[in-house]
Amino acid sequence: MWFAEQAIAQELEPRKYANTPTDVNVIGLGYAWSNGNVLLDPALSIEDLDADLHLIFANYLYSFGLFGKNAKFRALLPATTGRWEGTVNGIQGSRRDQGIGDAWVSLEWNFAGAPALERKGMSTYRPQWVFGTSVLVSIPVGSYDKDELLNLGTNRWSLRTELAAARTFGRWTIEGVAGVRVFTDNDKLLGDNTLKQDPFYTLKGAVIYSFKQPGMWLAAAYGWGVGGQTAVNGISRQTEQRNIRLGTTFAFPFSRRHGGAITYVTGLAKGAGSDYDTLAFSYHYAWGKGMAQADR
């Protein structure tokens, strides 16, 4: 479900590869509102699509050591309610729906420059170069009706891999990420039609400023993507995507265990794809052995 990722800025996620204390759990809750040409599979022949979507999501993170380096496991499940209006084959139509979207899980590993440290050890850690990689799997558990053109789920799996590099200069950090996403087939597109999609390639960058207060930072991010051309029943369609993503995130702590973030993302489509604006708010709570060690 593309909207789930856009709404939480999953395509633009500054500090995703930042080093974090090990043995720490984080649970988060969030809300996102998105308006524009969103939740549109490029295989679908919809013109002038306008959507107004509201999403609530829950996510979980666990930070741990892997071969002596920092690693994170993440999971997310969204629920969405929304309205869509558009034109299909010259006929104006609309739809309202609500339900669960596709879930995803990911594993991130900073294989250089980010040693696995307990919370106390992080006080003396000074990042310079950090290199990381990740694998994200989208799980098709979302609501899907094969007789409907627009759905909250995608009825197919996808896998995204990334390679990242970050360099910190004092309070400033510059990040760069290259990724590719591949898809399984959806064999229930408007009945029993089969949708195939080519890989989608992305390049992302971010500039982050970390304030003196731990856990408070401000980021500006940019993303570019190309690819993802589709075919239905073996017939190729002119649906190659050429998208630009721009976003900003402000993260702030309420206390050492509680924090929040505000994110704004806009999308611009130069080929098939989505033009949209998203505003998201999230809250998180941290606990675990790593937190308890710092309390002593």
Give pLDDT, residue 164: 97
280 pLDDT band, cuts 50/70/90, is very high
Give 195's contacts (C-beta < 8 A, 6+ positions apart). Answer: 41, 43, 156, 185, 186, 187, 189, 230, 231, 232
> What CATH code is carried by the domain that includes residue 239?
2.40.128.130
Q: Is the separation of the CB atoms in 248 and 13 below 8 Å?
A: no
Q: Can you tell me the distance from the alpha carbon of 107 to that of 62, in angstroms, rounded to the nearest whole number?
A: 10
Pick the closest to residue 230 from 275, 180, 185 (CA basis): 185
Q: Can you tell me the distance from the alpha carbon of 72 to that of 109, in angstroms, rounded to the nearest whole number?
A: 7
Q: Can you tell me the distance from the alpha carbon of 105 to that of 276, in angstroms, rounded to the nearest whole number?
A: 25
Within 13 Å and on the Cβ side, how many CA atoms surround 145?
10
Give pLDDT, residue 59: 94
Pick the closest to residue 59 from 93, 106, 11 (CA basis): 106
Give the mean pLDDT of 59-69: 96
Note the pLDDT tens digit of each residue in 21-47.
999 999 999 999 988 876 555 556 566
Q: Copy the structure tokens of residue 201.
A: 């390639």
Does 3 score more than 50 pLDDT? Answer: no
Does 225 score more than 60 pLDDT? Answer: yes
Give pLDDT, residue 41: 57
Evaluate the CA torsion angle 124, 126, 131, 135 in order and state its sign: positive
Note the pLDDT tens digit of each residue in 116-173.
998 888 888 888 999 999 999 999 999 999 988 788 888 999 999 999 999 999 999 9
Pick the closest to residue 42 from 241, 224, 193, 232 (CA basis): 241
Per the structure, the count of domains in the chain is 1
234: left (phi over 0), alpha (psi -120 to 50) or beta: left
Give pLDDT, residue 5: 44
Does 49 score more than 80 pLDDT? Answer: no
Does 105 score more than 70 pLDDT? Answer: yes
Note the pLDDT tens digit of each residue in 198-223.
999 999 999 999 999 989 999 999 99
- The CA distances from residue 202 to 106, 161, 173, 181, 182, in Å, are 17, 10, 20, 8, 12
Percent of the chain residues past pLDDT 70, beyond the cut: 88
194 pLDDT band, cuts 50/70/90, is very high
Give pLDDT, residue 259: 96
Give the mean pLDDT of 67-96: 85
Q: Copy the structure tokens of residue 249.
A: 């995130």
Q: Can you tell me the distance from the alpha carbon of 184 to that of 168, in angstroms, rounded to the nearest whole number?
A: 38
Q: Copy the structure tokens of residue 199.
A: 């890989």
Q: Can you tell me the distance from the alpha carbon of 205 to that of 179, in angstroms, rounded to the nearest whole number?
A: 12
Give pLDDT, residue 14: 92
For residue 163, what are the domain limits?
A: 2-295
Indicate the residue type of 166: A
72 pLDDT band, cuts 50/70/90, is very high
Q: Is the separation of the CB atoms in 246 and 265 below 8 Å?
A: yes
Give SS3 for 64. strand
Q: Can you tell me the distance from the alpha carbon of 152 to that of 73, in angstroms, rounded to the nearest whole number?
A: 25
Within 13 Å and on the Cβ side, how many CA atoms surround 1?
28
- The CA distances from residue 115 to 14, 129, 165, 253, in Å, are 19, 12, 15, 24
